[in-house]
């Protein structure tokens, strides 16, 4: 079997005495598309944030190609440049144009030459259909457009895996589709993705593996056909029935 890009070992996280993640184990292999679903407050965002070190776990490890990601700032920076993240609230740099948003980190972190950074930015902005907007500021874009730019920005780093934390949850319903379309198309390019989402149809159709989390536990981790059609745990069943019917 191929080597996992990411590994999470026995990872727990508490905020004060509130245990948010409990002994999580998971691996992410190349070209996998993992969707993480679960009710609000189950710890999905916290898990992604622990994976890319925006939160520090209480115990356990995060591995990158089998190596523990240590708490040394330079190693964390290096690691993060290879593990992209797309946020629910976009987090585009408000003072920069779309183009500069996509070039800042390739220039300052990867130290690419200007024309190469520009080339990458245009390539990925085209990919998400946002190239005509290179001169716009984030405040001049709709939510769906912002999220597509945020995805392009993350792609410019050529990440080995891209983490998405509810990329469509902050969007008006009519804009959800355009972002999901981009993500489906990304999935077809073989990009490794970990997607926290409430979009069950996306998880069912696009993921290669779906993880159901509840109260800090990974309750079920299975191919989507299995998880959606024959959920093993009663909790999964209850969650799915709420979503698929309601």
Partner 1 sequence: MAMAFDFLTITNPQSSLEWMVFLTQKYFSMFVEGTLLTLYISIIGTFLGFALGYVIGVIQDLQVSKVDLLPKRVLVGICKLVASAYVELFRDTPMIVQAMIIYYGIRQVGVDITPVAAGILVTVLNTGAYMAETVRGGIGSIDLGQREGAWAMGMSPLATMLYVVLPQAFRNILPEMANTFLTNLKMTSVLNVIAVQELFMAAKTVGGNYYKYFESYLVIAVIYFVLCFLFNKVFLLVEKWIRGTDDYALAIEYLESE
Ligand X SMILES: Nc1ncnc2c1ncn2[C@@H]1O[C@H](COP(=O)(O)OP(=O)(O)OP(=O)(O)O)[C@@H](O)[C@H]1O
Q: Which residues bind Mg ion (CB under 5 A)?
A: 45
The CA distance from 130 to 152, in Å, is 9
Q: What is the DSSP string of 52-108?
A: TTSS--SEEEEEETTEE--S-HHHHHHHHTTEEEE-TT----TTS-HHHHHHHHHHH
Helices (H) and strands (E) in the chain, counts: 9, 10
The CA distance from 46 to 71, in Å, is 17
Pick the closest to residue 26 from 45, 41, 11, 44 (CA basis).
11
15 forms part of the interface with ligand X (CB under 6 A): yes
Which of these segments, 42-50, 124-132, 182-190, 221-229, binds ligand X (CB under 6 A)? 42-50
44 forms part of the interface with ligand X (CB under 6 A): yes
230 forms part of the interface with partner 1 (CB under 8 A): no
Closest distance of CB 244 from ligand X, Å: 17
229 forms part of the interface with ligand X (CB under 6 A): no
Closest distance of CB 13 from partner 1, Å: 14
193 forms part of the interface with partner 1 (CB under 8 A): no
Terminal CA-CA length for the chain: 39
The CA distance from 94 to 73, in Å, is 25
Site for ligand X in 167-226 (CB under 6 A): none
Which of these segments, 15-23, 83-91, 186-194, 196-204, binds partner 1 (CB under 8 A)? 83-91
163 forms part of the interface with ligand X (CB under 6 A): no
45 forms part of the interface with ligand X (CB under 6 A): yes
Question: Judging by DSSP bridges, how do beta strands 161-165 and 83-86 pair with one another?
Answer: parallel
- Tell me the sheet residues that pair with 180: none
41 forms part of the interface with ligand X (CB under 6 A): yes
157 interface partner picked from Mg ion, partner 1, ligand X, none, CB below 5 to 8 A per type:
partner 1
# binding residues, ligand X (CB under 6 A): 12
Residues that bind partner 1 (CB under 8 A): 52, 54, 56, 71, 73-74, 77-82, 84-85, 87, 89-95, 97, 104-105, 108-109, 122, 125-126, 129, 131-137, 140, 150, 153-154, 157
């Amino acid at each position: 079997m191929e080597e996992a890009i990411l590994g999470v070992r026995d990872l727990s996280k508490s905020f004060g005495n509130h245990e948010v993640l409990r002994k999580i184990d998971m691996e992410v292999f190349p070209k996998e598309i993992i969707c993480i679903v679960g009710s609000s407050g189950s710890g999905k965002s916290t898990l992604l944030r622990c994976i890319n070190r925006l939160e520090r776990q209480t115990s356990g490890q995060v591995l990158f190609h089998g190596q523990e990601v240590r708490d040394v700032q330079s190693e964390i920076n290096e690691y993060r440049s290879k593990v992209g993240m797309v946020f629910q609230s976009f987090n585009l740099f408000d003072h920069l144009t779309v183009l500069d948003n996509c070039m800042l980190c390739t220039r300052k972190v990867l130290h690419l030459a200007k024309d190469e950074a520009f080339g990458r930015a245009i390539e990925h902005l085209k990919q998400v259909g946002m190239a005509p907007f290179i001169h716009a500021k984030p405040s001049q874009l709709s939510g769906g457009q912002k999220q597509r730019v945020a995805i392009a920005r993350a792609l410019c780093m050529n990440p080995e895996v891209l983490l998405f934390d509810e990329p469509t949850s902050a969007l008006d319903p009519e804009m959800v589709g355009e972002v999901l379309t981009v993500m489906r198309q990304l999935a077809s390019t073989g990009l490794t993705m970990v997607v926290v989402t409430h979009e069950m149809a996306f998880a069912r159709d696009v993921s290669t593996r779906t993880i159901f989390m509840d109260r800090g536990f990974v309750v079920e981790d299975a191919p989507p056909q299995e998880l959606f059609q024959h959920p093993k745990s009663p909790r999964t069943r209850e969650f799915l029935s709420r979503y698929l019917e309601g």
